[in-house]
Amino acid sequence: DAKTTQPNSMESNEEEPVHLPCNHSTISGTDYIHWYRQLPSQGPEYVIHGLTSNVNNRMASLAIAEDRKSSTLILHRATLRDAAVYYCILRDYGGSQGNLIFGKGTKLSVKP
């Protein structure tokens, strides 16, 4: 799976939007972009994923650049509960169901 690059940490104020960037310049045409997050003392949880088009769900939005070399996870109104480590992961749809390769992720802090 291709590698992703994320900032180590970001800060946000409560109830403000947060844009978490991810660079994946070596992405292949068959790679899906997945985001997971890990709240303190919990297991990771799925957030969202996409291939080419922007995606929205109840948790977040995923904006994918036209050349697919970068993407941005958008939390529309950060809450204290959104403080977590966010992981951007590429998964080749030609591969298997396994092998989520977690990098170091971005640690998001939310200030009240």
Could you list the residues that contact another protein (CB under 8 A)?
30, 32, 34, 42-46, 49, 51, 87, 91, 93-94, 96-104
Name the residue nearer to another protein (CB basis): 13 or 102: 102
Write out the H or E segment, with its range, that includes residue 99.
Answer: none
Min separation Cβ 2 and another protein, Å: 15
CA distance 89 to 50: 11
Q: Which residues lie below 8 Å from residue 56, measured CB to CB, with a gap of 6+? A: 62
Name the residue nearer to another protein (CB basis): 30 or 79: 30
Min separation Cβ 68 and another protein, Å: 15
Min separation Cβ 112 and another protein, Å: 26
CA distance 97 to 5: 23
Min separation Cβ 11 and another protein, Å: 22
Name the residue nearer to another protein (CB basis): 53 or 112: 53
Closest CA relative to residue 33, chosen from 76, 74, 4, 66: 4
Report residue 79 as tokens.
């809450």
Judge contact between 28 and 92, C-beta under 8 A.
yes
Name the residue nearer to another protein (CB basis): 56 or 99: 99
